[in-house]
Chains A and B, each alone.
Chain A
């Protein structure tokens, strides 16, 4: 066994860079070692440690679905040292990747049910992996509803995919922007995600809700879902605590006794209710 296996990144080459929103980019990444790429397997909900050599590592979910092998994608906002360096890279350049880490969205258990996805801002990427995963297996699920909001129209990510989902007869998409964030030609809703959800009032019967967003959005969305009749064990979210190692050793992502990197990032609201507010 090598001396440092868990911390040695695999090498990925940037295949494509997509500008999603101001300071938000998506990188499509392919494995430099083709055999490594063929052997790489992950499930939706898992994350990785992406590195720019000389700058360090940062943590994001894998934003592409496992149903589309051959590459992985990550979407991130340019915010700190590593994401700023990542944002400056061009196709053909090489980055590091460790993963996949963490648990998964149990989409097998959701077969035959309705799915309600609720996302805010830059938190659509973890959910985009699940959305494409279930859309690629569309006949296994019943109604699929997506409620997505951002501060402004410009801040909505995956605009081409939003248009695609809006055009599909088998998807109900509701998009919203915060008051003041609309443009003159904006056709979607204006209002915060919890209020828009409350107004849309999707049925809770046989429905799984997946919620990803900033802490304040999550905080106000749970009560709305409870009012709509969603049981806590049928509401899923991902926690996004700061991580370094990704493998339960470095000591910083814990919420009480739970490691977000090992026991999460996917948790149900039933689990969160039993956990301390350390996220």
Chain B
């Protein structure tokens, strides 16, 4: 659908929260939690933290929980009974106040989960989630959305995108049918479109590299072991980058229980040595440098080729979270500038 331009002020936005709550929706938004700001359930706009550049964790938990039950089972006398997850139990959720980079990451996740066969648990969560993005008035040195096809006011992935104008009023772009349905019955809370230039309220994020050059540059560097050894010299293999990434979706499957229990899907990371370890002891990616190469190749070479989408949205979380200050932006610049 064509984007519908409206406006909304803070007071009306607070009422919109009440309206969503009355509709039985769960609202997840950035919230101050001790020393950090992270996505958490909120009941009112006053609980939402709006001024941070970025949260520590991404909002992907709403569609891809850290640990989720695939099914439960009961076994007795050699018989097994499987109880499926009830898909209707997936809560209707509004994710509010996420940045355009995070909104764009849902397309990367959907590509991974659904590219070949549908992952219905993920899909039912995504279908029950409405995304209300908030444009970025500020960026920091870790942000690089514009280098990977996004932008501080990009609408991709948002059902509604709000852009603050600095005086308690927001430009509201109703981007999708889902967004239109979300404001249905609350249309009087929205004002008319404003004659204000959205761009004037957006952070400036300079393009650091040409994304079309990354894939071919990576392919040319694949066998350059010295390059990858240097790139990953500091990497501890802790997996923090994957856990905070809004587009990382690698997972493990584990059972919990005995004669009765459940099968769980849990987050995993290609940075871990155990990730690819065979039972025999053989490991196709035994070195941290190979695992770091896999991380970049997967996001910037394999996914664009196999799923026609990048596995990175430039949110910069991995660089902020890295305990040894690896900055993915510097590493990607290094890839583009390297001689194979």
B92 CB to closest chain A CB, in angstroms? 15
Mask: chain B, 40-64; 1 = CB below 8 Å from A; 0 = not: 0000000000000000000000000
A244 within 8 A of B: yes
B265 neighbours in A (Cβ, 8 Å) = 7
A80 CB to closest chain B CB, in angstroms? 4
Stretch of B81-89, B149-157, B181-189, B197-205 with 4 or more beta carbons under 8 angstroms from chain A:
B81-89
Q: Provide the bound-state CA to CA distance between A276 and B73, in Å.
A: 40
Known A-B contacts A240-B278, A250-B253, A257-B301; A262 and B84 likewise in contact (beta carbons under 8 Å): no
Which of A53, A242, A279 is B75 in contact with, Cβ under 8 Å? A53
Please tell me if the beta carbons of A4 and B85 are within 8 angstroms of each other in the complex.
yes
Please tell me if the beta carbons of B255 and A257 are within 8 angstroms of each other in the complex.
no
Known A-B contacts A80-B279, A242-B277; A2 and B255 likewise in contact (beta carbons under 8 Å): no
How many pairs of residues, A versus B, come closer than 8 Å at their CB atoms?
Answer: 139
Please tell me if the beta carbons of B119 and A249 are within 8 angstroms of each other in the complex.
yes
Which of B78, B90, B298 is A251 in contact with, Cβ under 8 Å? B298
In the complex, chain B residues 252-293 whose Cβ is within 8 Å of any chain A Cβ: 252-255, 257-259, 261, 263, 265, 268, 270, 275-280, 282, 284-285, 290
Closest A residue by C-beta to B277: A242
Closest B residue by C-beta to A253: B276
B113 within 8 A of A: yes
Number of A positions contacting B (CB below 8 A) = 46
B116 within 8 A of A: yes
In the complex, chain A residues 34-73 whose Cβ is within 8 Å of any chain B Cβ: 51, 53-57
**Chain A's interface: helix, strand, loop or mixed, by majority?**
loop
A98 CB to closest chain B CB, in angstroms? 10
Known A-B contacts A3-B86, A251-B251, A254-B298; A242 and B263 likewise in contact (beta carbons under 8 Å): no
A56 neighbours in B (Cβ, 8 Å) = 253-255, 263
Max count, chain B CB within 10 A of own CB: residue among A3, A11, A55, A83: A3
Partner-A contacts on B (CB < 8 A): 70-71, 73, 75, 78-80, 82, 84-87, 90, 112-113, 115-121, 124, 222-223, 249-255, 257-259, 261, 263, 265, 268, 270, 275-280, 282, 284-285, 290, 294, 297-298, 301-302, 305-306
